[in-house]
Amino acid sequence: MMSSNEIKKSALNHFASSGYDGTSLSVIASDVGIKKQSIYAHFANKDELFLKIMEEVLIQETSYIKSFFSKNNTLALEKKLFQFLQQYSKRYESQAETRFLLRMGFLPPTHLHQQVIDSLYNYYDELEEILIEIFTNHKDSIITPVSEAVIAYIGLCDSVLVELLYSGNDRFQRRLNACWKVYWQGIRSKEE
């Protein structure tokens, strides 16, 4: 019997590479060796399958972020924030979850737009809380108020991730390096 996890894994890969509209349940079914109708034993429709994957990817991404900053706790703020952004290009190349999140975050299915955006805002709120704690622990390293530094960092993340999604790693690196220098010079304490 086909498990819902196998269906979700196939669907994740297809959504990440072809988008919502470019992915059919027939292709997913063929990929896992079942008939399209068998998917309905696990998911009511394509929307339910998509939203379930979105939910799981956001949970996984939040877990990754917490783990990344925990493992890199002893690094200086500048290094850990820059490395976090650098990791995205590697994760984008190697993980369907990261490709899915970026693609669906910036190009959500039109009819699911509000549900996707609501989920993303919850994710961004959680990311902001994580970052506020990190920046607060390093507040001597910056001259900008913590909340402003965090919001600007999230804006920087969005900017470079759009470049990664649309233009690839070379342009992502170019934008990241230029934006990072200006961002860090703008928030860092002069004693740093």
CB-CB contact of 129 with 62 (8 Å): no
CB proximity list for 39: less than 8 A, separation 6 or greater: 7, 25, 28, 29, 49
The pLDDT-based confidence of 192 (bands split at 50, 70, 90) is low
CA–CA dist 155, 27 (Å, integer): 36
CA–CA dist 21, 134 (Å, integer): 38
CB proximity list for 164: less than 8 A, separation 6 or greater: 88, 89, 92, 102, 171, 172
Express each pLDDT in 39-50 by its tens digit: 999 999 999 999
CB-CB contact of 62 with 126 (8 Å): yes
Please give the average per-residue pLDDT across 150-174, as a whole number: 94
Long-range contacts of 135-138, Cβ-Cβ distance < 8 Å, separation of 24 or more: 135/77, 138/76, 138/77
Question: What pLDDT score was predicted for residue 191?
Answer: 65
Count of alpha carbons within 13 angstroms of residue 88, beta-carbon side: 27
Q: Is 63 exposed, middle or buried (0-12, 13-18, 19+ CB in 10 A)?
A: exposed
CA–CA dist 119, 136 (Å, integer): 26
pLDDT at 3 > cutoff 90: no
Question: What pLDDT score was predicted for residue 2?
Answer: 58
Express each pLDDT in 70-120 by its tens digit: 999 999 999 999 999 999 899 999 999 999 999 999 899 999 999 999 999
**What's the mean pLDDT when you consider all of the chain?**
94
CB-CB contact of 17 with 97 (8 Å): no
This model's pTM is above 0.85: yes
